[in-house]
């Protein structure tokens, strides 16, 4: 039995759902976090002491941290090709997974929270502006990297595309001014057409 805990409005849960859907793995998703609560319940804290989502359960095995979940799923089902076979390509996938977690998503966080989850009369424009500026730096890095490339690493879709595209989905749908990044837009449109993306990436909320 495979169970994923977490609400689909979480970018981190979206990554895990996308990975499961790409691999065609059966799973049950249990709503948790945000308005659904549960994450402070003793049984949940026993699984994840951070009280965050997502958490993956597989026949008694428990794993938290969304990119760790992506790596676990991809490495456990290598025939699907989500984890690169070449060691250097795998290292590059790791690089982009870490970059998404440490740079891109943190850069967008304040702009997301301020424009999507904060009432208009309580928003802090200076906070939004700082977040947009940091996000533009990341978007510029992505756009330059994706010039002439179909995917983040090598010639095929991998977990690096899942992680970065989930963050890009949030950035590209925020109601903020953005510099147009053609390569980033083309790549996002390409990976967004995948059936698993339609399940994993709902409108921002």
pLDDT tens figures, 108-162? 999 999 999 999 999 999 999 999 999 999 999 999 999 999 999 999 999 999 9
- State how many domains the chain has: 2
76/6 same-domain check:
yes
Spatial CA neighbour of 174 closest among 112, 89, 118: 112
Which phi and psi angles does 2 have, rounded to 5°? -120, 130
Q: Give residue 98's pLDDT.
A: 98
Provide the domain limits for residue 31: 2-80
Domain shared by 36 and 92, yes or no: no
Domain match, 175 and 150 both:
yes
On whether both 65 and 8 belong to a single domain, the answer is yes
Residue finishing a domain among 48, 80, 112:
80
The confidence score (pLDDT) of residue 79 equals 82
Give yes or no: residues 35 and 111 share one domain: no
Q: Which of 49, 80, 111 is the last residue of a domain?
A: 80
Please report, for the domain that includes residue 145, its CATH number: 1.20.1050.10
Residues 54, 99: one domain?
Answer: no
The pLDDT of residue 27: 98
Identify the three-state secondary structure at position 58: strand
- Output the six-digit token pair for 67: 């990119």
Q: Is 205 within the bounds of a domain?
A: no
Residues of the chain with pLDDT under 70: none
> pTM here?
0.97
- The CATH number that applies at residue 52 is 3.40.30.10
What pLDDT does 62 receive?
A: 98
Q: Which residue stretches of the chain are H helix?
A: 11-23, 42-47, 66-76, 87-99, 105-116, 125-146, 159-172, 182-192, 195-200
């Amino acid at each position: 039995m495979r169970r994923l805990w977490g609400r689909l409005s979480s970018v981190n849960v979206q990554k895990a759902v996308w990975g499961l859907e790409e691999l065609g793995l059966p799973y049950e998703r249990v709503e948790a976090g945000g308005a659904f609560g549960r994450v402070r319940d003793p049984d949940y804290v026993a699984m994840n002491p951070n009280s965050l989502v997502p958490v993956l359960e597989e026949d008694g095995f428990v794993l938290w941290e969304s990119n760790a979940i992506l790596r676990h799923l991809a490495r456990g089902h290598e025939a699907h090709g989500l984890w690169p076979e070449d060691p250097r390509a795998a290292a590059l996938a790791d690089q982009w997974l870490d970059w998404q977690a440490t740079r891109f998503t943190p850069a967008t966080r304040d702009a997301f929270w301020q424009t999507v989850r904060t009432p208009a009369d309580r928003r802090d424009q200076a906070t939004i502006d700082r977040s947009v500026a940091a996000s533009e730096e990341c978007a510029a890095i992505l756009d330059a990297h994706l010039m002439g490339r179909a995917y983040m690493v090598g010639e095929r879709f991998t977990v690096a595309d899942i992680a970065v595209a989930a963050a890009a989905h949030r950035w590209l749908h925020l109601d903020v001014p953005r510099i147009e990044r053609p390569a980033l837009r083309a790549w996002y449109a390409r990976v967004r057409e995948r059936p698993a993306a339609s399940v994993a990436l709902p409108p921002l909320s």
